[in-house]
Structure 1
Amino acid sequence: MQKNIILIGMPGAGKSTIGVILAKRIGFHFIDTDLLIQAQEKLRLQQIIDIRGLENFRQVEEQVLLDLHTEHSVIATGGSVVYGKNGLKKLGESGVLIYIHVPLLLLQQRIADMGQRGLVMSKGQSFQDLYQERTPLYEKFADITIFSAEQNAEQVAAQIERKLISLGNALPSESHANRE
């Protein structure tokens, strides 16, 4: 059975973009859990948070993760995935958890319109507070941490691919043929 590759990290870390590129490179499926939530709820993430509240959003997110049955997939998760212990545990059992670490200042530059982003933040909480709260959780749950500050999405995907191969994770054999 092929394992999944699960990308975790802060909003703006590039999980979805990197995930698509990585999936193409290694011949895996690509799944974005934020899109699954939006399709199921028929609302944008920010609308779910605004209408139903943070706690409901987190419950919906965790249930989507618990209901996800896939293999041979790159899964880009929402930044708040680390709050749903059961959902995250299930994901971890299905594959390797990779934390895409991006420094706070770079994330702040990338996220211009936080209000429409669907950020799971408490009222009055700053993005810096959120970063400081979540970073230890990502580090705790990650099997692999990728530092991506000075790289574009293609370079990060290549770095993840090399790391997985070096650790002996089963990838399709053609995936590591002169890709850079």
Structure 2
Amino acid sequence: MSGPVVLVGAPGSGKSTTGALLAERLGVPFADVDAVIEQRAGRSIAAIFADDGEPAFRALEEQVTAELLDQPGVLSLGGGAVLSATTRAALRGHRVVWLEVSAATAVSRVGLNEARPLLLGNVRGRLIKLLAERTPLYAEVATERVETDSLPPEQVVALLLTSSSEETGA
């Protein structure tokens, strides 16, 4: 497998927190696609959604994801990145870890976060809908899965490090 370790999953699954910890433990760079988009655009994801619409955001997300897949390290994708067939195809050949989370746990982790434009309003209802739509796509791209409901990020990282060393024979 080439390129970065890629983390996918729903909002609240722990991609950003786990990704940063994993990169630190591996001594490699960490990139969060949403953070890179915000930095480059000079605006928040919520502002991009509000000003330009979801299709414009998804196009940026697809472009940044493709670029970052060529770099080493750990990469956290936005929860909806798997909606792009182009992105799903680009993930083939990479180590893609699906951080699975239940709607109840995701709601407790995400709360009423205004930085997540697709979750504004009925957070629980929207998360349930997002999970139903995206679960088959996460399953399609994942080379491995970690259920995160009852695990703190440190334990998720420990599991990923163990599975990585088993794969490489280290």
Contact persistence 2:49–2:117 (CA under 8 A): yes
What is the 5 A alignment of 1:127-138?
127-138=127-138
Tell me the residue number matched to 1:28.
28
Aligned pair 1:101/2:100, yes or no? yes
Task: Detail structure 1 runs of 4+ shifted over 4 Å in the superposition.
Answer: none
Corresponding residue SS for 1:43? coil
Alpha-carbon offset, residue 69 of structure 1:
5.5
**What's the counterpart of residue 162 of structure 2?**
162
TM-score, reference length from structure 1: 0.84
Identity of aligned residues (%): 29
- Paired position in structure 2 for 1:176: none
Question: Would the aligned equivalents of 1:80 and 1:120 in 2 still touch at CA under 8 Å?
Answer: no
Report deviation, 1:87: 2.6
1:120 to 1:48, Cα distance in 2 relative to 1, 3 A: farther
Q: How does 1:1-180 map to 2 (within 5 A)?
A: 3-68=3-68, 70-93=70-93, 95-119=94-118, 126-168=126-168
> Is the CA contact (8 Å cut-off) linking 2:45 and 2:116 kept in structure 1?
yes
**For 1:115, what is the secondary structure of its paired residue?**
coil
**Contact 2:101–2:147 (CA<8 Å) still a contact in 1?**
yes
* Matching residue of 1:177: none
Amino acid of the structure 2 residue aligned with 1:115: E
The secondary structure found in structure 1 opposite 2:98 is strand
Provide Cα deviations, 1:46-88, integer angstroms capped at 9, x if missing partner: 1111111111111111011223364331001100110122233
Higher deviation after alignment, 16-25 or 67-76: 67-76
Of stretches 108-117 and 41-50 in structure 1, the one that deviates more from structure 2 is: 108-117
Secondary structure of residue in 2 paired with 1:150:
coil
The one-character-per-residue Cα deviations of 1:2-40 (angstroms, maximum 9, x if unpaired) are: 641000000111101001111111122111110111112
Secondary structure, counterpart of 1:116 in structure 2: coil
Two-structure CA RMSD over aligned residues (Å): 2.3
Q: Which runs of 5+ in 2 are unaligned?
A: none
Distance 1:64 1:39, change over 3 A: same
What is the alpha-carbon distance in structure 2 between the residues aligned to residue 54 and residue 16 of structure 1? Answer: 21
Aligned residues: 168
